[in-house]
Amino acid sequence: MSDKLLRTLIEDGQVSLVAVDGTETVRHAQIIHNMTAPAARAFGRVLLAMTYMSCWLKEETGELSASIKHRGETGEICVSGDTLLRMRGYVYNPSASTDVIGKGYMTVVRDDSYGKPFVGTCELVDGDVDKDFEYYYRLSEQLPTYIRTDVVFDGNGLCKAAGGVFLQPMPGASGMAVQAAQNFRDQLSDFGKLLEDKGMAGLLKEVFGVENAQETAFSYGCRCSKEYIAGVLSSMGEKELRDILSAEGKISVHCHYCGSDYEFKEEDVNEMFPPATEKEQPQ
């Protein structure tokens, strides 16, 4: 089941409003990674922010990834997305008992297929996902962006609702429009409860007066496969792979994004590196 990203303009076209309704995506990630509610809240808020960032990728093969390394209990949080809004990620400690983001750094890598990817790094300034992403936009993108995200849970600790609202003044927006965007963000201080009570559609109508917006579907989507992993392994070189086979009897690979496990044996390595025929043997 797909979630929705909604786009529209408010304040006479001077402010971009993007709403991300990511309940199914965050719930799916929580289940496959066996996350506690606090770990899922920290991870989910990063995923919602990255979904917003990914929706601005221009090229069909564009990709975006973020790594948040910090001292909080969840440890490193990694999320990636692409132009089709196939989102994926993981948290280092899915058993965390708190969602607090500690001191550390966020690194964002954007590959627009133009050659060398853009890498932006900034310090985590607040310990709150929304404010840290706002700071990243001001510092690295030089764009004022106002953000509210949250994830709420049912009585069993499973994601019940997850969403985010992102307000970004357009180039040339008036000072009044910029202030309006900030005011809207401030009005959403109880965003999680509003999201739970009204749903994203109801929230947009009540707070922003928006009833129609451009919709884009997105979902959790890991692109790993045995063929893809085999291609990555082959880049390590035949000698290293055969050394692993000799020591372990097999090559085991675990995908942190979706939890899949892949196993490669001697016949698989032989397919990657076929034995040379007599004609191919050096003279």
CATH number (domain holding residue 153): 3.55.30.10
Predicted confidence band of residue 140 (pLDDT cuts 50, 70, 90) = confident
pLDDT above 80: residue 13: yes
**Residue 281, pLDDT above cutoff 60:** no
Same domain, 108 and 234: no
- Mean pLDDT on 63-82: 95
Alpha-carbon distance of 2 to 219, in angstroms, equals 5
CATH number, domain of 253, equals 3.90.1280.10
| pLDDT at res. 97 | 96
**Tokens read off for 190:** 């109880």
Most confident of 111-115, 241-245, 276-280: 241-245
Number of C-beta neighbours around residue 24 at 10 A: 17
Q: Is the pTM of this model over 0.75?
A: yes
- Please identify, among 220, 238, 257, the residue that sits at the C-terminal boundary of a domain: 220
Same domain assignment for residues 149 and 246: no
Strands 15-21 and 3-10: antiparallel
Averaged pLDDT, 6-16: 96
Residues 230 and 199 in one domain: no
Q: What mean pLDDT do residues 249-268 have?
A: 89
Summarize the confidence of residues 71-95 as an average pLDDT. Answer: 95
Q: Tell me, yes or no, whether 14 and 56 share the same domain.
A: yes
How much is the average pLDDT of 84-94?
95
By residue count, the chain amounts to 283
H helix or E strand, kind and range, residue 42: helix 37-54
Q: Mean pLDDT throughout 53-57? A: 93
Which of 220, 239, 261 lies at the terminal end of a domain, its last residue?
A: 220
Taking only the tens place, the pLDDT of each residue in 198-215 is 999 999 999 999 988 999
pLDDT at residue number 154: 96
Domain count, the chain: 2
Domain edge (last residue) among 174, 191, 220:
220
| Residue 8 burial by Cβ neighbours in a 10 Å radius (0-12, 13-18, 19+) | middle
Mean pLDDT on 246-255: 90
Q: Which residues of 228-255 are buried (b: 16+ CB within 10 A; e: fewer)?
A: ebbeebeeeeeeebeebbeeeeebeeeb
Checking if the pLDDT of 275 tops 80, the result is no
**Spatial separation of the C-alpha atoms in residues 101 and 225, rounded to whole Å:** 32
Residue 277 has pLDDT above 70, yes or no: no
For the cut 70, the answer to whether the pLDDT of residue 248 exceeds it is yes
Residues 230 and 211 occupy one common structural domain: no
Q: If you average pLDDT over residues 5-9, what whole number do you get?
A: 97
Q: Please tell me the predicted confidence (pLDDT) of residue 282.
A: 54
Is the Cα torsion angle 136, 67, 89, 59 positive or negative in sign? positive
User: How confident is the model at residue 255, as a pLDDT?
Assistant: 85
pLDDT exceeds 50 at position 278: no
Lowest mean pLDDT segment, chosen from 12-16, 81-85, 272-276: 272-276
Same domain, 158 and 208: yes
User: What pLDDT shows up at residue 193?
Assistant: 93
Clarify whether residues 207 and 263 are in a common domain.
Answer: no
Query: Percent of the chain having pLDDT more than 70?
Result: 96
Residues 54 and 95 in one domain: yes
Dig out the tokens for 247 from the structure.
């020591």
Residues 206 and 235 in one domain: no
Query: Is residue 72 domain-shared with residue 178, that is, in the same domain?
Result: yes
Please compute the mean of the pLDDT values over residues 72-96 and round it to a whole number.
95
In 10 A of CB 283, how many CB atoms? 2
Q: And the tokens for 106?
A: 């966020």
Domain that holds residue 261: 226-280
Q: Are 53 and 182 part of one and the same domain?
A: yes
Confidence (pLDDT) at 257: 86
| Residue-level pLDDT at 279 | 44
Average pLDDT in the 50-70 region?
Answer: 91
| Amino acid sitting at position 31 | I
Q: Are residues 192 and 111 in the same domain?
A: yes
